[in-house]
Amino acid sequence: MSRGPDAATLLRRALERHADAAGCDVSVCVRDSTRWASATFAGARHTVALTLRDDPAGGLWLKALAEADLPLRGHLVADVVTLSVTRHDEDLLVTLEALTVEV
């Protein structure tokens, strides 16, 4: 019996939908997911690689991402932090870290 997509897959899909709604063409790859827990919560930390156009829409989307509502079934995106941004030709290569919590 399938349990459905994991948090990393749901996060990738949510980032793609959010970027598409903002008019951004983005390629998303979740590089690593590590289980995480505190005294009261369980979830995962995800390292995410993004490639998007270095244009005004992409820049605005990236700036707003930390405050974005990224709904995931069965999980909450508690935090999104931009770790690095590198310009390569006409693209931005971005590394993010996201924390998801099981609900």
Choose the CATH number for 7-102 among 3.40.50.2000, 3.40.640.10, 3.40.50.2300, 3.30.2000.30.
Answer: 3.30.2000.30
Sequence ranges of the domains in the chain? 7-102
Q: What is the mean pLDDT of residues 45-74?
A: 94
Of 63, 96, 94, 102, which is closest to residue 80 (Cα–Cα)? 96
Write out the E strands in the chain.
26-37, 42-53, 75-88, 91-102
Task: Summarize pLDDT for 8-59 with one digit per residue, the tens.
Answer: 999 999 999 999 999 999 999 989 999 999 999 999 999 999 999 999 999 9
For residue 2, what pLDDT is reported? 60
Q: Is the pLDDT of residue 4 over 60?
A: yes
Give the amino acid at 51. T
For residue 1, what pLDDT is reported? 53
Task: Summarize pLDDT for 75-85 with one digit per residue, the tens.
Answer: 999 999 999 99
